[in-house]
A and B are shown apart, each in its own frame.
Chain A
Amino acid sequence: MSSEFYRERIIDHYRNPRNYGSIEDAQIKVQESNPLCGDDVELYIKLDKDGKIEDIKFKGRGCAISTASASLMTELLKGKKVDELLSFTKRELLEALGVETLGLNPVRMKCALLPYKALKVGLYNHLGKEMTEEEERLLDYEGEAKEGY
């Protein structure tokens, strides 16, 4: 493990977060926080008339893991369509973060997934969709663990 944990990329995204800031006229604006540590993330998504992401930004206060996760997620999602956002999985984000080599414990997984949670909550609100219990469960690390990640 050791310093592999904070691999270059995480530190890079933490110190120079991409797409940091807010979007005044975003259709999706959402704030999520981690009650355990008080960290929070705000996510802004502006869609064009075809329902494609025109711009995506985030801000908030968080650790290297949650900040890098948010930063990477905005990069991954730019240009995607709403239905692609719906099918965007935790696995895709966690793989981009390199979670497997990082060896994150469950507590830190919650940090990594905070931006993902914000995305899904914001998306469902935007679409006026109710989250099923199963979908809510899957937002958490525990859900992921059961999926065998």
Chain B
Amino acid sequence: MCADQLDPEVIKQDFPIFKRRIYGKSLIYLDNAATTQKPRQVIETISEFYQNYNANVHRGVYKLGVEATEAFENARAKVANFVNAKDSEIIFTKNATEALNLIAYSWGLRNLKKGDRILLTEMEHHSNIVPWQIIAEYTGAMLDYVPINEEGLLIEEEIDRLLNLRPKIVSVTHASNVLGTINNVKEIVEKAHKVGAIVVVDAAQSVPHMPVNVKELDCDFLAFSGHKALGPLGVGVLYGKRDLLREMNPFLGGGDMISRVWLGGAEWNELPWKFEAGTSSVADVIGLGAAIDYLNSIGMDKVRAHEVKLTDYALKRLSEVPDIKIYGPRDLSKRGAVISFNLSGIHPHDLASILDEEGIAIRAGHHCAQPLMNRLGVAATARASFYIYNSESDIDALVEALYKARRIFKL
């Protein structure tokens, strides 16, 4: 293998979980769109925090407190650098869902009124639909959805038509967790700004898998989660443009988010802490920093190149299976390493159970995207999603197991 490509077999050595046997077989983990496995470097960083400098941040004057605060803010700098933002524009939340809710409540409640429009798309995750439905009910704003075409791409003319209705805010996924579709967010941002809308990008499925640069996208907000990018569960990230974050009211009130409190009121802390009420999951934030170090040591261009290669191979191999329906675009430049499919005559749940017996972990269900399932006319799909430790042999095992499922179901 040449040096400009990553070697999944070498990477795998860093992930203790792959030593595990599942029903006596090696683990083949293909549910990376749900959460990724964690490298030793991340696990050790978290353990190191609890063993050596566990303390609350932004408070203690003692050594442990100072070290914890330094490591915590250092992780923020790593995250900021990773997406080309300023430190003060990076807010830690508990997950991407909370980040999206933060915008919906803090920005939406303040800025939306009766008759205003919110523009979403048909391929959004529930976390980028439900908060807006709630805010729409509070404010009387209306929701529009950009439809998708048969290939699983947003219909461009519809984007233009719906933007002409002058929504106040557009919230769109960068990469679909079901179809794999990578949306041309940069172009959507440009068009939306022309009609005066601000744009939120749900980057939960893009930031872990490809270089993402918030300045280049020029989006107003961007949300992602750490645990889908090798980091620990429990940390999400919200990026927001300074001017917007400054105008907004806090989402949650409490400790750490104020500069002064008196009985009659309070004054908000500076950015980003204004939005970080209460004690953060400090060890996990620091762990996310380690995850970003790990990804940087590989290089996000290589991560993307590896996934494109794997997706290409997977699409070819899966297409060989009789009676398979694969969703999403075939153009590799327009899709990420998420492949949803159905085998006719076998429910995705049954498929996932049969694959489980082979040590293969895939997802089956509606993937928190029921409106999209309705659009596709199915109750559920099976989904395989890849990451840096997956190789072509994993895909071969997947395909072989699909044939086995067909035999069991006498198809």
Q: Spell out A's residues near B (CB within 8 Å).
A: 1-3, 5-6, 11, 15, 36-40, 61-65, 67, 108, 111
Contacts and interface: CB of A to CB of B under 8 A. Distances in A.
B357 A37 contact: no
Given A1-B23, A6-B354, A38 B349 contact: no
Majority-rule SS of A interface residues: helix
Contacts of B347: 39, 62-64, 67
Contact of A5 (B349, B353, B380, B410): B353
Contacts of B380: 37-39
B350 A63 contact: yes
Contacts of A62: 347
A11 B347 CA distance: 12
B408 A39 contact: no
A63 B23 contact: no
B403 interface: no
A-B residue pairs, 7 tightest by C-beta: A63-B347, A63-B349, A38-B366, A37-B365, A64-B350, A38-B379, A61-B379
Contacts of A36: 365
A17 to B, nearest CB: 13
Contacts of B346: 64
B377 to A, nearest CB: 11
Most buried by A among B349, B366, B379, B408: B349
B379 to A, nearest CB: 5
10 contacts: A2-B357, A3-B408, A6-B354, A11-B409, A37-B379, A37-B380, A38-B373, A39-B347, A63-B349, A65-B349
B370 A11 contact: no
B379 A65 contact: no
B364 interface: yes
Interface residues of B, number: 19
B350 A38 contact: no
B3 to A, nearest CB: 42
Contact of A6 (B364, B366, B373, B408): B408
Contacts of A61: 379
A39 B370 CA distance: 11
B353 A38 contact: no
Most buried by B among A38, A62, A111: A38
Contacts of A39: 347, 349, 379-380
Interface string B314-325: 000000000000
A6 B349 contact: no
B358 to A, nearest CB: 9
Contacts of B350: 6, 63-65
Given A38-B370, A63-B349, 15 more contacts: A1-B357, A5-B354, A5-B357, A6-B408, A6-B409, A11-B410, A15-B410, A37-B349, A38-B379, A39-B380, A63-B350, A64-B347, A64-B350, A64-B409, A111-B349
